[in-house]
Amino acid sequence: MTHQDKAAVVLVSGGLDSATVLAIAKSEGYNCYALSFDYGQRHRFELEAASRVCDAIGVVQHVTTPLDLRAFGGSALTADIDVPKDRPDDEMETGIPITYVPARTTIFLSVALGWAEVLGAFDLFIGVNAVDYSGYPDCRPEFIAQFETLANLATQAGVEGTGRFRIHTPLIDLTKADIIRRGLSLGVDYGFTLSCYDPNEHGQPCRRCDSCQLRSKGFAEAGMPDPHTDHAPP
């Protein structure tokens, strides 16, 4: 197997899930090209976390692409809309939250596909999860399967049959606790990650948004301390 046969593009946001995905891709022998987006998210701490994660786990290259989704708005993450706090579990499990960014996963996977084609890589990794956060339509297995089909129609490599693109979603069926256990077994230091949608001006998590709550519940269920919370109490 040549070098390029084992190259993969991994979407890395700086959060817990994508850090775990990167560690899984590495553990499967892939040379990882990490892709992050500066998409006008509420804060830049996420991008700093992505860089820390890539440095810690090890990648061939890390590219951060500017992409101004704020020009369109429509989400609490890309417009001046408050991030919901302290939502009870049953509310989090119902409907599509305001933190949904329209077509974000489609956009991110498309850019990753373009980079993969340039690299001669056919493997894309993304940390979508359909268990502990099923509210996003573009995190469902049927969406991912459809994107994989599209990738093989959309590209020169797909059309010429030099390979077949695969979208790897190793977290899709895992609970947050499972994800954390898997990452810890691979040596991921979650102290480098940031999950919060709305950290304070020092980059410390609010512990009240949906993402912080899910993270906290995940560590509790895994029976492990959250190093981030330990090291950087809000």
Binding site for a second copy (CB under 8 A): 63, 65-69, 71-74, 96, 100-107, 109-111, 113-115, 117-118, 137-138, 140, 142-143, 146-147, 149-151, 153-156, 158-160
Q: How far is CA 3 from CA 68, 84, 175, in A?
A: 34, 45, 33
To the nearest whole angstrom, how small is the minimum distance from the Cβ of residue 62 to a second copy?
A: 11
Instruction: State in angstroms the smallest separation of the CB of 32 from a second copy.
Output: 15
* Dihedral pair phi/psi, residue 80, rounded to 5°: -85, 65
For the record, the structure tokens of 183 come out as 């990452």
CA-wise closest residue to 26 among 206, 217, 188: 188
Q: Which two tokens stand for residue 224?
A: 């492990």
| Residues β-bridged to residue 166 | 123
Nearer to a second copy, 84 or 102 (CB): 102
Tokens 């020092």 belong to 202
| Strand (E) or helix (H) holding 141 | helix 141-154
Q: Can you give the length of the chain in residues? A: 234
Instruction: Please give the span between the terminal C-alpha atoms of the chain, in angstroms, as a whole number.
Output: 47
- Find the shortest distance in angstroms from Cβ 87 to a second copy: 18
Spatial separation of the C-alpha atoms in residues 11 and 26, rounded to whole Å? 13
Give me the least distance between CB of 130 and a second copy, in Å please. 13
Least distance (Å) between residue 180 CB and a second copy: 28
**Nearer CB in complex with a second copy: 110/204:** 110
Min CB(233)–a second copy separation in Å: 35
150 vs 232, which CB is nearer to a second copy? 150
Structure tokens given for 22: 């990167």
In terms of CB distance, is 41 or 229 closer to a second copy? 41
Kindly tell me which of 137 and 227 has the beta carbon lying closer to a second copy.
137
- Of 39 and 192, the one with the shorter C-beta distance to a second copy is 39
How many angstroms separate the CA atoms of 12 and 108, rounded? 10
Backbone angles phi, psi at 7, to 5 degrees: -90, 140
